[in-house]
Structure 1
Amino acid sequence: MRTAVIQLNSRNNPAENLATVEHFLDRAAAMGAQFASLPEFWTYLGPYAGFDEAAQTIPGPTIERLQEKARKHKMIVHGGSIVERVSTMPGKFHNTSVLIDRAGEIIAQYRKIHLFDVDLANGEKHYESERIVPGNEIVTAEVDGVTFGLTVCYDLRFPELYRSLALRGAQIVLVPSGFTLHTGRDHWEVLLRARAIENLCYVIAPAQVGKYPPDRQCFGRSMIIDPWGLVLAQAQDMPTVIMAEIDLEHIASARAQIPCLSNRRPEVYDL
């Protein structure tokens, strides 16, 4: 499966961000992509105060535009994540990922479980829980015979979630992200490759790159990683599309060589 990962520098203008994404989806399709994946918060990346205006519904006009692209190009589209309005909780939102099949149907939705509440040594403070309500459901979905596992950004630091996805049959795990420059340069590649190696699956990690309002910066370096932990493609420090071929037989081969999923001893550890 020819796979495209789209790296963006989203800002606080949803209309402009959508136009950019549509351009890159068309470009990915022209490059032969059968599957395309977007980063975290691609519709709006800016101050939490702007969530009220930028929030979307699912289904809704923005996701419908992705559905149209999926139908037009007969391409599976992973809608990264967006700010989803919580209808029962005014002023609160979900960080929600959407998977769309080639027919333009929404196959799965995942709401980010682990929220990014941190005080970094460089002075950055992020309190995602001020506006975001966490999800409580682990999500896998099968499309065209491929089982996808859905996660978002900070989830990457919780290996138990990824092991749960692998045990539920995930062959490709999606990690739309907006890692900070401060954490990304030391942790991003290490964590992604570890999750792939531990679970012997592909890891698809589209990322935000560059500065965004008010005065923050994302690391970028979107990646496609195989079940052996090898980086098949990596983006440079700019909005772009990277491509790689996903070979599902490689998953079976890796798991046959190192059967760590079947060699587990869950009766010994309390996880």
Structure 2
Amino acid sequence: MRVGLVQLTVTDDPAVNLPVTVGYVRQAAAGGADFVLTPELTNGLSSSRTHQRSVFRHEDDDATLATLRAEAKAAGIWLLIGSLGLLTHDADGRFANRSFLIAPDGSVAARYDKIHMFDVNVSPTEVYRESEGYRPGAKAVVADTPFARLGMSVCYDVRFAALYRRLAQGGAQVITVPAAFNHITGAAHWETLLRARAIETGCFVLAPAQTGFHPETNGKGRKTHGHSLAIAPWGEILADAGREPGVTLVDLDLAEVDRARGRVPSLSHDRGFDGP
């Protein structure tokens, strides 16, 4: 199984970002990838809720989703759209941060709404309150494909190990972690967290990421860590995309999942306990 990790430096304009993403998806497919993955918020990053409301669309009207579904069908590939920012009909007006698994016929095989919201104080000058703009999901998702069972997650989810254990015990062999990881927390924690999730679950972990500086029309912007990673079930790093946008191809041997779990069968060793 060959996978293609797409690493992007998106702007806050979905119309500008889409042709770049399409080009990388085509490049990955031409390189033999059966499964191509894009990062979190493939359609655009912005700190302005007003701007997001002007450029985001509902799922049925989103051009990025429609175009990438057509690309998956044309190439005959499985495609994970890491996530899209989408309008919802929620009374409070918050958006969805939704990951899509697209089948080779262009249909939506699975959807996952990011559960854990990035509400953190990274530094005195970098404060994030994702929950003010996005409403959290409430359901873990495992999806079937011909090559593996996929457990879906997004970015900040990676800090919550219980979710990944649930996905693995639900049958996941590959876990996806598309991200727009902050450059400060990324340098400190990104690789360690992803390797831990792979080791704990005996799963392959595939983490396509945003990278670099993301300009905004309001003159602001943010930085992301990059370093899209593919990690084996034993914890080895199979591929690291570094800091530049582009496509990273890596071959996976799904038999490694059973080998890792056979050596350390911790997924079957849960025990109840009292306290604290």
Q: With structure 1 as the length reference, what TM-score do the two structures score?
A: 0.96
Identical aligned pairs, as a percentage? 38
Offset at residue 67 of structure 1 (A): 1.0
Question: Is 1:125 the equivalent of 2:130?
Answer: no
State the partner residue of 2:176.
174
> For residues 68-89 of structure 1, what are the alpha-carbon distances to aligned partners after superposition, in whole Å with 9 as ceiling and x for unaligned?
1111111000001111111233
Offset at residue 246 of structure 1 (A): 1.6
State the partner residue of 1:191.
193
State the partner residue of 2:90.
88
Alignment of 1:18-57 (within 5 A): 18-49=18-49, 50-57=51-58
> For residues 204-263 of structure 1, what are the alpha-carbon distances to aligned partners after superposition, in whole Å with 9 as ceiling and x for unaligned?
001110111323210100000010111101012110111111211110111111111112
Offset at residue 270 of structure 1 (A): 7.2
Question: Is 1:259 the equivalent of 2:265?
Answer: yes
Q: Distance in 2 between matches of 1:140 and 1:166?
A: 9
SS in 1 for 2:195: helix
Q: Distance in 1 between matches of 2:113 and 2:67?
A: 20
Q: Distance in 2 between matches of 1:58 and 1:107?
A: 14
SS in 1 for 2:70: helix
State the partner residue of 2:210.
208
State the partner residue of 2:2.
2
> Is the contact made by 1:48 and 1:131 (CA closer than 8 Å) also made in structure 2?
no
Residues 270, 230 of structure 1: CA spacing in aligned structure 2 closer, same or farther, 3 A cutoff?
farther
Residues 132, 155 of structure 1: CA spacing in aligned structure 2 closer, same or farther, 3 A cutoff?
same
> For residues 84-137 of structure 1, what are the alpha-carbon distances to aligned partners after superposition, in whole Å with 9 as ceiling and x for unaligned?
111233631011100001111101110010000011235200000111010001
SS in 1 for 2:3: strand
SS in 2 for 1:224: strand
State the partner residue of 1:12.
12
> Is the contact made by 1:122 and 1:182 (CA closer than 8 Å) also made in structure 2?
no
Unaligned runs of 5+ in 1: none
Moved over 3 A (4+): none
SS in 1 for 2:43: coil
Q: 1:248 aligns with which of 254, 257, 266?
A: 254
Unaligned runs of 5+ in 2: none
Q: Indicate the RMSD between aligned Cα atoms, in angstroms.
A: 1.5
> Is the contact made by 1:85 and 1:92 (CA closer than 8 Å) also made in structure 2?
yes
Which amino acid is the alignment partner of residue 268 of structure 1?
F
> Is the contact made by 1:152 and 1:174 (CA closer than 8 Å) also made in structure 2?
yes
SS in 2 for 1:52: helix
> Is the contact made by 2:153 and 2:175 (CA closer than 8 Å) also made in structure 1?
yes
Which amino acid is the alignment partner of residue 56 of structure 1?
R
Alignment of 1:96-245 (within 5 A): 96-121=98-123, 123-212=125-214, 213=216, 214-245=220-251
Residues 210, 122 of structure 1: CA spacing in aligned structure 2 closer, same or farther, 3 A cutoff?
farther
Offset at residue 145 of structure 1 (A): 4.5
Q: Distance in 2 between matches of 1:89 and 1:246?
A: 43
> Is the contact made by 2:88 and 2:95 (CA closer than 8 Å) also made in structure 1?
yes
Which amino acid is the alignment partner of residue 243 of structure 2?
D
> Is the contact made by 2:46 and 2:221 (CA closer than 8 Å) also made in structure 1?
no
